Amino acid sequence: MRLILALTLCLPLFAADKPVPAGPLKAFRGPEGEVIGMVEVNGSKEMLVHFKNIGGEMEGQSRLYFFEDHGSGKKGVYFNKKKGSKTERYYILSARNGHWEFYNPARPSEIKIAYSEKETEKMKLEDVLKAYKP
C-alpha cells in the first residue's frame, strides 16, 4: 500500500520530464537549408527546439530551453550557465518583430531564419518530442 502511495506521489515528477506542448510546432528555414523547429512547452515558459541540417552535436536533436516573451515583438530562447559564482544567460534564438536569428554555438555569427510553412508541414510534433532526451 505504501509503495502505491509513493508511486502515486512521484508520478508528477516523472511526467515533468516530458515537455507538454503549449502551442503549435513551427519550423523556420535558414539561408543554407538549416531547419529549426520550435514549440512552446510547459505553459509557454520553455521552448523545445529541434535542429536539422545545422551540423555539429545538435544535429537531429531536440533540446529544451527557457523561453521569454519580452513584449513589443521581442522574444528570447536561452539557457543559463554557471560561471564561478555567477549565472550567465546565453541566447540561442532571438526574435524582434517576427524576425528570428539563430546563434549556432558551432559558428561565430548568427543565422537569420524565416518561418517556412513547407518545413512546418514536413516536421512532425511526435518526432520532435521523441528526439528530446532529458
pTM of the predicted structure, to 2 decimals = 0.83
Average pLDDT, the chain: 87
> Quick one: cell of 71?
513584449
The structural domains of the chain, with segments of one domain joined by +, span: 20-130
Name the nearest CA neighbour of 45 among 27, 64, 26.
64
The pLDDT, as a whole number, for residue 14 is 39
The pLDDT, as a whole number, for residue 8 is 35
More confident residue, 18 or 123: 123
Model pLDDT for residues 11-46, shown as the tens digit of each residue: 333 345 789 999 999 999 999 999 999 999 999 899
Asked if residues 99 and 93 have their Cβ atoms less than 8 Å apart, the reply is: no
Kindly list the distances between the CA atom of residue 124 and the CA atoms of 39, 94, 107, 112, in Å, as whole numbers in the listed order. 11, 23, 27, 23
